[in-house]
Amino acid sequence: MSSLKMIIGLGNPGPPYSNNRHNIGFQCIDLFARRHRLDLGKMQMQARIGDGWVQRQAQGQLQRQKVLLVKPLTYMNGSGQAVNQLIRFYKVEQAEIIVIHDDLDLDSGKLRLRMNGSSGGQNGIKSMIEQLGSQEFARIRVGIGRPPGRMDPAAYVLQDFSKAEEEAFGILREKICDAVECWLFEGLATAMNKFNG
């Protein structure tokens, strides 16, 4: 393992948004950084980034993979601008990126890894597809469910997780980080088999 892999979490910058449903991508990047003692203090190309090595023991061997963690600071709808600049700067192949984002069409608390596909109305993914000119990048869709009653979806995604949800999503964030590690060392097909249950 040597080529750089980019792990992107989508969200909106700033404290008012930090615990929103829409910011699950940022939340997972923060957790992954803590887990692997990676510093997210650097600013580059309209994004907060952190780079370093992720290691794990497997079959008695130490495996290492260089990663770049990315939190675009362009607000959700402009996520592609920051990501596209970083991909060009670091010369990362699209096959070496994975994006973590919230998904209204997936039941709350479910996760789905997929190889490619349309944005499904998720504006951060839509922006990335427009900027990259391609849908061919891996993603982890994190289900937040549909809003209750006639609530506006835009208002719903910008709400913080409820106390009850937070308990389940605390566990889910750990699982998402496990899925990212699996993708890093074993590839997307294996990660899909293991985590799309």
Rounded Cα distance, 17 and 8, in Å: 17
67 in Cβ contact with 52 (< 8 Å)? yes
36 is catalytic: no
DSSP letter string over 79-136?
A: HHHHHHHHHHHHT--GGGEEEEEEETTS-TT-EEEES----TT-HHHHHHHHHHT---
Phi, psi values for residue 7, rounded to 5°: -115, 115
22 in Cβ contact with 16 (< 8 Å)? no
**Among 22, 48, 71, 173, which one carries the catalytic annotation?**
22
Active site residues: 22
